[in-house]
Copies of this chain bind each other. A is one copy, B any other.
Amino acid sequence: MFDPLLIPELREMLLENDIPAMHEFCNVFHAGVIAENLESLSVADCWQVLSAAEWSRRAEVFKYFSHSRQMELVETLDQSKLSALLEAMAADDRVALVKDLEPALVDLVLPLMAQVERDEIRKLLSYPPQSAGSIMTTEYASLRKDLTAGAALAQLRLQAPQREMIYYIYVIDESRHLLGFLTLRRLIMAKPERPISEIMDEDVISVRVDEDQEVAARKLARYNFLAMPVVDDQNRLAGIVTHDDVVDILQEEATEDAHKMGGVLPLTEQYLESSFVSLWRKRAMWLSVLFLAEVFTFSALAHFEDEIQKVVALSLFVPLCISTGGNSGSQAATLITRALALGQIQLRDWLLVIWHEFGMGIALGVTLGLIAFVRVFFTPAEVLGVSEPLRLALVIAQSVAAICLWGTLVGATLPLVFKRLGIDPGIASSPFVATFVDVTGILIYFSIARVQLNFG
């Protein structure tokens, strides 16, 4: 919704310091649209436009800026303005921002804020990272169960301005124990004189403060909730996780999975914002492990040095043969890992999966083996440097087919084995499978060659 036509207009408003126009701009559009259009302006211009709006509106827009722009914007604020911004933000967004600020700056700003907000920040900061508690907001709507629907609606109208989510209303007792919940839909549909204890749902699906944020996100998505209550170990309501956090959390997860598949320890920071040394450590670690494993290809080849000495042409096909295993293995591993992650297959389906991949491995092996045969058979004999090209072509074709089947089976099996052992199946990444199959592929290739070619 970035609108290039708005930029010249904005520049003119800034030039003329046309405050009424800027005020209108800040209030007519969706906060996200405003942020997108302000993103290309300088930080100073950005604040100038925003200062035409109330602090509450500025905080709403702020939330939609990119992380790096947020940091730039905060840097130029003095302490009193920063505390005003923080006070105006939603509880969960506020804590997310505080986590990213310099601790020294936080110590300066916190005393300027109201006691309520200050205590809340301290409390939310105390939950472990990645826990449901760390992402929840405390701005939920709650009511006592002895109210009638009419009285409840009247109370809700009073609470609404300070609440992030008013479509789900939680019913609690005097010690904040969670008794039930009801939706605003049900509340406005109910007869005004009906007690809410009769219309509320008592079977409330909740998540504990110390549970993983991903558990919370998956539950929320699974049951199509707009929000889900977060409770402590005594079932007292501590906060709610809202629908807009789900996508962020699941996207974080998908990135972690992608990084694992590509052979990087998952990065928690954004790519351009992570430090060189920490990125190097995460990348070098995996590459070194794979490298050390790959050294076994040397040992395997050294074992067949005599054969290579006699038929040098054999060595020319080594990369072709082993890469076949790596590619077919990555493919199978990706399919199975993803199907496991989405719950399309379960561990108990293992026999079916392996049977399925066995057939597929044969079909793929025959396909690639035929291509290999044709390619080798029609290579000029002087390039191959062998007297019997047909024989060599047969060896290569059989090796390619066998290694392709082997790669497929290994790629399909490893994620299942890891899952069974309680290890994340995503570890069976493309590079991991490829390295494993490289070494074993060499053994398969030269074993076939040794049996079928006359060395002597």
The complex is assembled from copies of this chain, and their number is: 2
User: Taking CB as reference atom, which chain B residue is nearest A217?
Assistant: B247
Q: Is the CB of B368 within 8 A of A258?
A: no
Q: Tell me how far the C-beta of A399 lies from the nearest C-beta in chain B, rounded to whole angstroms.
A: 13
Q: Tell me how far the C-beta of A194 lies from the nearest C-beta in chain B, rounded to whole angstroms.
A: 14
Q: Which residues of B contact A312 (CB under 8 A)?
A: 305, 308-309, 312, 315
Q: Tell me how far the C-beta of A307 lies from the nearest C-beta in chain B, rounded to whole angstroms.
A: 10
Complex Cα gap A167–B187 (Å): 12
Q: Is the CB of A189 within 8 A of B262?
A: no
Q: Is the CB of A305 within 8 A of B385?
A: yes
Q: A244-B224, A272-B345 are in contact. Are A251 and B250 (CB under 8 A)?
A: yes
Contact residue among B247, B317, B435 (Cβ-Cβ distance under 8 Å from A247): B247
Asked if A77 CB lies within 8 Å of chain B CBs, one says: no
Q: Is the CB of B334 within 8 A of A404?
A: no
Q: Tell me how far the C-beta of A213 lies from the nearest C-beta in chain B, rounded to whole angstroms.
A: 15
Q: A1-B205, A157-B188, A244-B224 are in contact. Are A330 and B272 (CB under 8 A)?
A: no
Q: Tell me how far the C-beta of A243 lies from the nearest C-beta in chain B, rounded to whole angstroms.
A: 5
Q: Is the CB of A331 within 8 A of B301?
A: no
Q: Tell me how far the C-beta of A455 lies from the nearest C-beta in chain B, rounded to whole angstroms.
A: 14
Q: Quick one: which of A405-445 are within 8 Å of B by CB?
A: 430-431, 434-435, 438, 442
Asked if A356 CB lies within 8 Å of chain B CBs, one says: yes
Q: Tell me how far the C-beta of A137 lies from the nearest C-beta in chain B, rounded to whole angstroms.
A: 12
Q: Which residues of B contact A335 (CB under 8 A)?
A: 259, 262, 264, 267, 271
Q: Which residues of B contact A308 (CB under 8 A)?
A: 312, 315-316
Q: Tell me how far the C-beta of A401 lies from the nearest C-beta in chain B, rounded to whole angstroms.
A: 12
Contact residue among B188, B270, B286, B339 (Cβ-Cβ distance under 8 Å from A188): B188
Q: Is the CB of B288 within 8 A of A368?
A: yes
Q: Is the CB of B157 within 8 A of A29?
A: no
Q: Is the CB of B258 within 8 A of A30?
A: no
- A173-208 to B contact mask, C-beta < 8 Å, 1/0: 000000000001100110000000000011101000
Q: Is the CB of A264 within 8 A of B334?
A: yes
Q: Is the CB of B189 within 8 A of A157?
A: yes
Complex Cα gap A173–B189 (Å): 26
What 16 new A-B contacts, CB under 8 Å, besides A258-B338, A283-B360?
A153-B188, A156-B188, A224-B243, A254-B254, A262-B430, A271-B339, A276-B356, A276-B363, A286-B327, A294-B327, A295-B375, A297-B323, A302-B316, A319-B438, A319-B442, A323-B434
Q: Which residues of A contact B (CB under 8 A)?
A: 1, 28-30, 32-33, 66, 153, 156-157, 160-161, 166-167, 184-185, 188-189, 201-203, 205, 219, 221-224, 226, 243-244, 246-247, 250-251, 254-255, 257-259, 261-264, 267, 270-273, 276, 279-280, 283-284, 286-288, 290-292, 294-295, 297-298, 301-302, 305, 308-309, 312-313, 315-320, 322-324, 326-328, 330-331, 333-339, 342-345, 349, 352-353, 356, 359-360, 363-364, 367-368, 371-372, 375, 383, 385, 400, 404, 430-431, 434-435, 438, 442
A-B contact list, 19 entries, CB within 8 Å: A1-B219, A30-B205, A156-B188, A221-B247, A259-B334, A261-B261, A263-B330, A264-B331, A276-B360, A284-B367, A287-B331, A287-B364, A287-B368, A288-B371, A291-B372, A312-B312, A319-B438, A326-B431, A434-B434
